[in-house]
Structure 1
Amino acid sequence: MSNRTSLGPILAATDFSAPARHAAERAARLAQETGAALTLMHVLPGGALQELRQWLGSGHAMEQQLRDDADRQLQAAIDALQAGRPLSIRAVQATGVPPQEMGREAEAQDAGLLVVGARGAGFLRRLVLGSTAERLLRRTTRPVLVVRQTPHEPYRRVLVALDFSPWSAHAVALARQVAPQARLVLFNAYQVPFESKLHYAGVDAATIDHYRQQARADAIQRVGSLATASGLQPGDWEPCIVEGDASQRIVEFEQEKDCDLVVLGKHGRSATEDLLLGSVSKHVLSEGSTDVLVSTTREA
C-alpha cells in the first residue's frame, strides 16, 4: 500500500496479568512491523499506596519493596518482549491514578497509539466497560487498541466500520498504519430511515423496498469513493455492505469475514466524550471476540 504515514510512538500499559502480556506482545509486534518507538508502562495505584502508608506509616520498607518488585517485573516483561527481537523498549514506572498517568505519559511522548489488554488485574479488569475506560478516553484523543487475543502473527484481515462521518477516512488511515499488511473489509450497515414508522403510516412494501435498494446502492457508492480517496488499491480491500443494526452486524461479520481486528471511531472536538458509552462501541467491545481499535481524531 502507498501513502501510509508513520504510526508514531506506541505506549503499552501493563499490570503484569496474562491479558496485559498479550497486549504488550501485540504492541511489540506493531513496533517491529512499523518501526515505531515502544514504551511499556506500569502504574502503581496511588490510592492503595496511600492506604498502606496509613496502616504502616510513611517510608515503610514495604512500600519500597512494592516499587522494587514492580521494577523487576517491568524489566522482566521487557526482556521477554525483546527476546529474539532487535527492539528497544523504554520502561516507565509511575504512581497515581492509572488512566491519568497513562494520559499524561501519552501526551509527554506524543504517542500515536495506546495499547491495553481487554481484561486484567486491578484497573485493567474494568477497562472496557467501567469508569476507568471513560476517564482514560476522556483524557486522550489518541487511538486505543484493546487486545483480546494472543498475538501469533500480524493482523491479516481488518473490519473497518464506516458511517461516512468525518472520522471514517481517519479510521481507514489508522487501520493501514496499525495493520500495514492486512486486507481491509470496509463495512457499513445501512437501514431504511424510520422503516417501522413507514409501515405504520401505510407506505406499501414496494416503496419501502425501493428505499432499501436505494440505501444499499448509496452505501456501495460511498464505500467505493472512500476507498479511492484513501488511496486503496483493488487488492487492498473488499466491501461489506449489510442491512441492519450496526452493533449487532459488526459482531456477526467480524467472525463471518474471519477478521482479527475491528476498527471503530469517532471524530469531533470532544472526540471521546461518549465513545465507550455509545451503543455500537459498547456492544462490540462487550460482545465481540477480536481486538478492537478505537480511532479518535480532533477536528481540524
Structure 2
Amino acid sequence: MRNYLVASDLSGRSDHALARAAELARGDDDARITLLHVIDEAGPASAEAEDRLRAQAARVVPASVALRCVTLPGDPDETILRLARETGAALILMGVPRPRRFLQGLAGTTAERVLTAAACPVAVVRHPADRTWHRILLALAEDRSALPVARALDRLGLVRGADMTVLHATHLPSPPTLRTGGLSSVSLQRLDNEAMAHLELRLRRRLRPVLKAAGHLHYALRHGAAPTALARMQREDRFDLLVTGARGQGALRRLILGSTSAEMIRNAEIDLICVPVGPLRKPAI
C-alpha cells in the first residue's frame, strides 16, 4: 500500500498539500492518505483540532479516497518524522512554510526541518492541485546520486507519461570565460560543445532505463551555478514540479544542486519534491 502522509496546520496552505495527495491517490486502490495534525501549546485544543481536521478532510478529499485523520501531541517535526517511519510513508506532503519572525526563523520552519531529516521523499506544495504534475523539472548531478532520485520518482508513479526535463548545471567553464591560449572562439565553442555532449550522453545512459516510461524526456545542460540555472529555467518555461535530491542528515543535508534545503523551499516558484540519497561524501585528505 502506498501511503501519503500529509502534515496539516489546519490552514489553507495545508489544503493544497492535502488536495495534491488526493489527486495522487485518486484511482489507486492501494493508496491511502494519513492526515496528521500535531497539537502544540500554540494551537487549538485536542477536541477542536480533531473536529477541524475532519472538516478539512471532508472539504478537500473525495469520499472514494482512503483516508484516516490523526491528531497527536508533541513537537511537530519529530512527530511527523516518527509517523512517517511507522506508516512507511512513500511521500510526506506539506504546505509552504508560513512567514516567521526573525528569531523564530533562525530555527527554520517545520517543513525545512522535516526535509533535512526525512528518510523518504518530501513534497512542499505551493499551488492548488487543479492539474497533475505533468511538466516535471528534474534537477540532478551527473553522478550516481541521480539514479535514486529518478527511481523514487518512478516508484511514486510520476514518470509514466510525464513531460520531463533533466537539468544539470556544470562547473565546466563556458567559452567566454576561458583564456584562449591561442585558440579561436570557434575552436573554443567546438570543444565546449563536445564536452557538453559527452556529459549529456552519460546522463542519458544512466537515466534511460529508469525514465523510459516518460512521455517526453528532454535534457538541459547549463554552465554555472545550479540555483542560477534553475531560476532561469523556471522563468523560461512553465513547470508543475521541481524534483531534486539531498545528501547528508540534519544541518549537514545539502541539496544536490548545491543549495541549502531552506533556500530551495523559500525560492522555488513551483511545487518541490526532495529525495534523500545518502550521506555526504567525506572530503579527500
**What is the TM-score normalised by the length of structure 2?**
0.81
Hey, what does 2:9 align to over in structure 1?
15
The CA deviation at 1:121 is 7.7
Change in 2 beyond 3 A, CA 1:140/1:281? closer
Task: Give the Cα–Cα distance (whole angstroms) in 1 for the partners of residues 24 and 214 of structure 2.
Answer: 25
Query: Shift of the alpha carbon at 1:122?
Result: 8.0
Partner Cα separation in structure 1 for residue 251 and residue 210 of structure 2: 24
Closer/same/farther in 2, CA of residues 253 and 178 from structure 1, 3 Å limit: farther
1:123-162 alignment, distance < 5 Å:
130=108, 132-162=110-140
Matched AA of 1:218 = H
Q: What is the rounded CA distance, in whole Å, between the counterparts of 1:81 and 1:166 in structure 2?
A: 39
RMSD: 3.3
Instruction: Find the aligned partners of 1:272 and 1:181 in 2 and give their Cα distance.
Output: 36
Paired AA for residue 26 in structure 1: R
Cα shift at 1:197? 8.7
Is the 8 Å Cα contact of residues 139 and 243 (structure 2) preserved in structure 1?
yes
Q: Tell me if 1:273 matches 2:252.
A: yes
Question: Which of 215, 226, 229 does residue 249 from structure 1 map onto?
Answer: 229
Q: Secondary structure at the match of 1:9?
A: strand
Q: What SS does structure 1 have at the residue aligned with 2:31?
A: coil
CA shift in 2, pair 1:217/1:104, >3 Å: same
- Given that residues 226 and 258 in structure 2 are in contact (C-alpha distance below 8 angstroms), is that contact kept between their aligned partners in structure 1? no
8 Å contact from structure 2 (residues 164, 214) kept in 1: no
Query: What code does the residue aligned with 2:195 have?
Result: A
Letter in 2 for 1:227: L
Q: CA deviation at 1:15?
A: 0.7
Structure 1: which 5+ runs fail to align?
1-5, 50-64
CA–CA distance in 1 between the matches of 2:99 and 2:174? 44
Match for residue 78 of structure 1?
57
Q: Alignment partner of 2:45: what SS?
A: helix
The 10-residue stretch of structure 1 (244-253 or 105-114) with the greater mean CA deviation from structure 2: 244-253
> Residues 43 and 95 of structure 1 are in contact (CA less than 8 Å); yes or no, is this contact kept in structure 2?
yes
Give 1:114's aligned residue. 92
Deviation at 1:80, TM superposition (A): 1.6
Higher share of residues assigned helix:
1
State the partner residue of 1:29. Answer: 23
Identical-residue share of aligned pairs (%):
25
Tell me which residue corresponds to 2:165. Answer: 185
Q: Secondary structure at the match of 1:166?
A: coil
Deviates more, 1:283-292 or 1:107-116: 283-292
- Kept in 1: contact 2:137–2:164 (CA 8 A): yes
Residue 154 and residue 233 in structure 1: after superposition, are their counterparts in 2 closer, same or farther (change >3 A)?
A: closer
Instruction: Give 1:133 deviation, angstroms.
Output: 4.1
CA apart distance, 1:112: 1.1
Report how many aligned residue pairs link the two structures: 272
User: Contact between 1:158 and 1:175, CA under 8 Å: does it hold in 2?
Assistant: no
State the match for 1:55 in structure 2: none
The residue identity in structure 2 corresponding to 1:223 is: L
> 1:222-281 CA distances to partner (integer Å, 9 max, x unpaired)?
22212323251574312222223211111221342321000010246x487323695265
What's the offset of the Cα at 1:141?
Answer: 1.7
1:236 paired residue number: 216
Gaps of 5+ in 2: 280-285
Q: Contact between 1:160 and 1:175, CA under 8 Å: does it hold in 2?
A: no
Q: 2:276 is matched with which residue?
A: 296
Q: Does the CA contact (< 8 Å) of 1:10 and 1:37 recur in 2?
A: yes
Out of 203, 216, 236, which is 1:223 matched to?
203
Structure 1 residue 174 displacement after superposition: 2.5
One-letter code aligned to 1:113: L
Secondary structure of 2:227 counterpart: helix
Question: Given that residues 160 and 263 in structure 1 are in contact (C-alpha distance below 8 angstroms), is that contact kept between their aligned partners in structure 2?
Answer: yes
2:245 is paired with a residue whose SS is strand
CA contact (8 A) 1:191 1:215 kept: no
